[in-house]
């Protein structure tokens, strides 16, 4: 366990080395928030409530969605793609550690770095620049837990795509498709409430919404109670465990076809 | 029971036959035209604890593939490997604890972090206690003088410094066996010498078994008591280095650039050398690249300096180089039955 924590610590330190990148992430985020603010403002010009959501709730949902998006973006699929193509995956496999957990802790290290450098500044900006109302509700208590599971699910998407490189050796197309599917079907771009009812019912059972919609509901709908949150948490938990097991089985298959060429 | 036990090991890869050009690349999208490349075929050997074994062969012989199977990275397709009684592939995590690996072409250190941080992470990964860690780092500091590098980012190190750090890392957890896959590639003579003395020292003080692949026959001569030669995935020779030493240790090629080179130069040179040293002198004259003449000398029979002296005084030589025999030449000689 201490080994994995050391790996995580290393990953945070690598993040610090490239601190310049964060400034651009924050600038990009400010622009995105500004655009989202005026876009939703104009959508709400003729109605106070759309699909049961007020402007404040929708904007909070979208803005926090972008904060979580940046928080969870650790590029593990791209990193694995590079390591597998280039052959440096061999340097992981010679160490007495589990490859999946190694990647998980590396990813978690970058998430912590993202949290401090991007997510927290974004939240402060929401409070003091865009002046959104945060209402404290019971959901806020389980938000950290839900967000952690969201991280695990998001990581396992990346990890799954990364493992595909053992077969395809190039992941560009798959990775792009994954990003689009996750962004649209998870509620990261548009709140799930805005989808047609039938589609919503399907989406709520899929793992994508567990990354954004579930934790976002915890903070944007403080009026809801446990009877709404608990089933959502259970769906999240189900997908966390299912993806953990599925990627583990996939790894055991994929590692058999590994080729490390050169050197 | 030997520490490393390899029996009838084999591994082949399926490779798509790629066609040339853009049109070919497009047609390859739908191609099922694979050919099988036999990387390792039916190799067997045993290595005892404390040995330093040179595992050599020309490019593409299957050296690295064997190393990757022994370290549990690749799965063998046939045959058996046991290290300390267990197959490395099935028990990768457990077996990794008793092995160290250095890949000359890539580093296992954290590229973006200061050197010392990599060692600290590895200390936790391999569960090395503080006392052992301090002793180890102290010893390496003495041998290689690493201390002033600690605060430097790995990516800013020179190749030689990085290799020394990689070697330090591979011995950190005091492994029973260390695989060195071309550790001296691209290094200058002084760093090579340092590297060799460190490897020798570790083998003697800790009784670490070392498997070394290299293209530099100097490494083999300096370090190994035993060598295994493979080519095209097959074992050519496994045994004492002394026998092979006669093949490459004694031979040197004298490259000469002679003024006014013409068709008769080779012949005259040959005649003059025969005149001076007699027949059975172990000297072969041949033409190499443009305007260069190769004189291959068996030092066991004729000292190189004598030949050089004779040539320099009798021929208008404008440039001289002395070259050790190449790996390819050694393998060719083995094929020609030099060892049987």
| ipTM associated with this complex | 0.86
Q: Would you say residue A8 lies in a domain?
A: yes
Cβ A260 vs Cβ B74: under 8 Å = yes
Cβ A150 vs Cβ A215: under 8 Å = yes
Please report the pLDDT score of residue A263 as a whole number.
44
- What are the tens digits of pLDDT across the range A20-46? 778 888 888 888 889 999 999 999 998
Q: Which residue of B has its CA nearest to A13?
A: B113
Q: Would you say residue A199 lies in a domain?
A: yes
| B→A interface, C-beta within 8 Å | 13, 64, 68, 71-75, 92-94, 96-97, 99, 101, 103-108, 110, 112-113, 117-118, 120-127, 153, 181-182
Residue of A90, A91, A255, A260 to mutate for B, most B C-beta atoms under 10 A: A90
Q: How close, in Å, is residue B235 to chain A by CA atoms?
A: 20
Burial class of residue B270 (count of CB atoms within 10 Å of its CB; 0-12, 13-18, 19+): middle
Domain total of chain A: 1
Tokens of A190: 């548009």
pTM of the model: 0.85
Q: Would you say residue A222 lies in a domain?
A: yes
Those residues of chain A that have pLDDT short of 70 are: 169, 260-263
Q: How far apart are CA A217 and CA A237, in angstroms?
A: 16
Residue A46 contacts B, CB cutoff 8 Å: no
- Bridge pairing between strands B34-47 and B4-16: antiparallel
Tell me whether residues B182 and A263 touch, CB distance under 8 A. Answer: yes
Q: How close, in Å, is residue A245 to chain B by CA atoms?
A: 19
- Return the closest-CA partner of residue B83 out of B74, B73, B71: B71
Cβ A79 vs Cβ A175: under 8 Å = no
Chain A residue numbers touching B182 (CB-CB < 8 A):
263
- Return the closest-CA partner of residue A94 out of B14, B230, B180, B253: B180
> B16 pairs with which residues across the strands?
B34
Q: How far apart are CA B179 and CA B265, in angstroms?
A: 48
Please report the pLDDT score of residue A95 as a whole number.
94
Q: How far apart are CA B318 and CA B284, in angstroms?
A: 20
Q: Which of A7, A14, A87 sits opposite B112 (nearest CB)?
A: A14
Q: How close, in Å, is residue A103 to chain B by CA atoms?
A: 14
Q: Which of A9, A88, A96 sits opposite B93 (nearest CB)?
A: A96
Tell me whether residues A263 and B127 touch, CB distance under 8 A. Answer: no
Q: Which of B73, B103, B120 sits opposite A6 (nearest CB)?
A: B120
Cβ A153 vs Cβ A185: under 8 Å = no
Q: How close, in Å, is residue A102 to chain B by CA atoms?
A: 10
Chain A residue numbers touching B120 (CB-CB < 8 A):
6
The sheet with strand B99-103 has its strands ordered as B99-103, B177-181, B209-213, B52-56, B226-231, B234-240
Q: Would you say residue A263 lies in a domain?
A: no
Written as one string, the DSSP assignment of B110-172 is -TTSBHHHHHHHHHHHTT--HHHHHHHHHHHHHHH--GGGTTSBGGGS-HHHHHHHHHHHHHT
Count of beta carbons in the 10 Å neighbourhood of residue B207: 11
Residues 95-154 of chain A whose Cβ lies under 8 A from any Cβ of chain B: 95-98
* A vs B: CB pairs below 8 A: 86
Count of beta carbons in the 10 Å neighbourhood of residue B230: 25
Cβ B251 vs Cβ B333: under 8 Å = no
Residue A51 contacts B, CB cutoff 8 Å: no
Tell me whether residues A2 and B127 touch, CB distance under 8 A. Answer: yes
Q: How far is CA B37 from the centre of its chain?
A: 22
The secondary structure of residue B39, as a DSSP letter, is E
Q: How far is CA B281 from the centre of its chain?
A: 31
Q: How close, in Å, is residue A198 to chain B by CA atoms?
A: 39
Tell me whether residues B73 and A91 touch, CB distance under 8 A. Answer: no
- Return the closest-CA partner of residue B307 out of B253, B246, B265, B258: B253
Q: How close, in Å, is residue B319 to chain A by CA atoms?
A: 35
Q: Residue B158 contacts by C-beta under 8 Å, 6 or more apart in sequence?
A: none
Helices (H), A133-186: 139-168, 172-185
Tell me whether residues A93 and B71 touch, CB distance under 8 A. Answer: yes
Q: Residue A83 contacts by C-beta under 8 Å, 6 or more apart in sequence?
A: A89, A92
Q: Which of A2, A97, A260 sits opposite B93 (nearest CB)?
A: A97
Count of beta carbons in the 10 Å neighbourhood of residue A108: 21
The secondary structure of residue A193, as a DSSP letter, is G
Burial class of residue B2 (count of CB atoms within 10 Å of its CB; 0-12, 13-18, 19+): middle
> Considering all CA atoms of chain B, what is the largest pairwise distance in Å, rounded to the nearest integer?
71
Chain A residue numbers touching B126 (CB-CB < 8 A):
3, 95-96
Count of beta carbons in the 10 Å neighbourhood of residue B20: 7
Residue located via tokens 């062969």: B57
Q: Which residue of A has its CA nearest to B109?
A: A91
Residue of A96, A170, A251 to mutate for B, most B C-beta atoms under 10 A: A96
- What sign for the dihedral angle of Cα B125, B131, B135, B138? positive
- Return the closest-CA partner of residue B118 out of B127, B109, B128: B109
> B258 pairs with which residues across the strands?
B317
Q: Crossing angle for the helix pair A172-185 and A76-86, nearest 10 degrees?
A: 170
The secondary structure of residue A118, as a DSSP letter, is I
Domain assignment of residue A227, given as a range: 2-257
Phi, psi for residue B199 in degrees, rounded to 5: -60, -45
- Return the closest-CA partner of residue B211 out of B231, B236, B181, B187: B181
Q: How close, in Å, is residue A82 to chain B by CA atoms?
A: 14
Tell me whether residues B68 and A90 touch, CB distance under 8 A. Answer: yes
Tell me whether residues B93 and A13 touch, CB distance under 8 A. Answer: no
Chain B residue numbers touching A99 (CB-CB < 8 A):
none
Residue A41 contacts B, CB cutoff 8 Å: no
Tokens of B298: 């068996």
Tell me whether residues A258 and B73 touch, CB distance under 8 A. Answer: yes
- What are the tens digits of pLDDT across the range B63-86? 889 999 999 998 899 899 999 999
The one-digit pLDDT tens for each residue of chain B (340 residues) are: 789 999 999 988 877 777 777 887 777 777 777 778 888 999 999 999 999 999 988 888 888 899 999 999 988 998 999 999 999 988 899 999 999 999 988 899 999 999 999 999 999 999 999 999 999 999 888 888 888 889 999 999 999 899 999 999 999 999 999 999 989 888 888 888 888 999 999 999 999 999 999 888 888 888 998 999 998 889 988 988 877 766 666 677 788 887 777 777 778 878 888 878 777 666 777 776 677 778 877 777 778 888 888 888 887 888 888 877 777 777 777 777 666 5
């Amino acid at each position: 366990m201490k080994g994995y924590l050391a790996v995580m610590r290393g990953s945070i330190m690598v993040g610090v080395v490239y601190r310049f990148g964060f400034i651009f992430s924050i600038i990009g985020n400010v622009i995105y928030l500004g655009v989202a603010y005026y876009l939703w403002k104009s959508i709400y010009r003729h109605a106070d409530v759309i699909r049961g959501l007020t402007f404040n709730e929708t904007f909070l949902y979208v803005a926090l969605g972008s904060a979580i998006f940046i928080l969870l973006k650790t590029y593990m699929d791209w990193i694995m793609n590079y390591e597998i193509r280039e052959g440096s995956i061999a340097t992981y496999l010679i160490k007495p550690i589990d490859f999946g957990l190694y990647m998980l802790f590396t990813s978690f290290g970058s998430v912590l770095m993202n949290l401090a450098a991007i997510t927290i500044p974004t939240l402060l900006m929401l409070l003091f620049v865009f002046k959104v109302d945060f209402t404290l509700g019971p959901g806020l208590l389980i938000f950290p837990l839900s967000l952690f599971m969201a991280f695990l699910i998001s990581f396992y998407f990346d990890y799954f795509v990364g493992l595909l490189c053992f077969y395809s050796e190039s992941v560009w197309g798959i990775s792009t498709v994954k990003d689009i599917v996750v962004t649209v079907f998870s509620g990261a771009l548009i709140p799930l409430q805005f989808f047609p009812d039938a589609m919503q019912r399907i989406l709520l059972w899929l793992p994508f919404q567990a990354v954004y919609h579930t934790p976002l509901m915890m903070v944007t709908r403080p009026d809801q109670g446990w009877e709404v949150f608990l089933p959502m948490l259970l769906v999240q938990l189900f997908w966390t465990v299912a993806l953990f097991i599925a990627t583990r089985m996939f790894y055991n298959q994929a590692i058999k076809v590994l080729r490390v060429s050169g050197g | 029971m030997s520490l490393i036990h390899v029996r009838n090991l084999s591994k082949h890869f399926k490779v798509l036959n790629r066609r040339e050009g853009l049109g070919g690349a497009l047609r390859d999208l739908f191609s099922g035209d694979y050919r099988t490349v036999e990387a390792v075929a039916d190799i067997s050997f045993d290595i005892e604890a404390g040995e330093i074994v040179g595992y050599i062969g020309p490019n593409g012989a299957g050296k690295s593939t064997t190393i990757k199977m022994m370290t549990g990275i690749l799965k063998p397709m046939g045959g058996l490997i046991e290290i300390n009684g267990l197959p490395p592939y099935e028990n990768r995590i457990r077996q990794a604890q008793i092995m160290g690996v250095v890949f000359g072409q890539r580093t296992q250190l954290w590229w973006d972090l200061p050197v010392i941080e990599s060692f600290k992470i590895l200390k936790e990964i391999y569960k090395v206690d503080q006392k052992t860690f301090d002793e180890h780092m102290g010893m390496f500091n003495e041998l290689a003088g690493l201390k002033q590098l600690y605060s430097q980012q790995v990516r800013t190190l020179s190749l030689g410094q990085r290799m020394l750090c990689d070697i330090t890392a591979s011995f950190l957890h005091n492994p029973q066996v260390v695989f060195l896959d071309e550790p001296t590639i691209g290094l200058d003579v002084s760093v090579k010498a340092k590297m060799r003395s460190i490897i020798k020292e570790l083998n003697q003080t800790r009784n670490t078994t070392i498997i070394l692949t290299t293209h530099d026959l100097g490494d083999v001569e300096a370090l190994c008591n035993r060598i295994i030669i493979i080519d095209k995935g097959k074992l050519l020779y496994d045994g004492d280095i002394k026998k092979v030493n006669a093949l490459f240790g004694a031979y040197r090629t004298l490259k000469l650039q002679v003024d006014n080179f013409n068709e008769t130069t080779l012949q005259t040179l040959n005649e003059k050398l025969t005149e001076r040293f007699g027949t059975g002198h172990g000297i072969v004259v041949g033409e190499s690249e443009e305007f260069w003449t190769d004189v291959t000398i068996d030092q066991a029979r004729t000292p190189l300096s004598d030949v050089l002296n004779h040539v320099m005084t009798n021929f208008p030589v404008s440039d001289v180089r002395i070259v050790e025999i190449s790996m390819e030449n050694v393998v060719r000689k083995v094929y020609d039955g030099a060892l049987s």
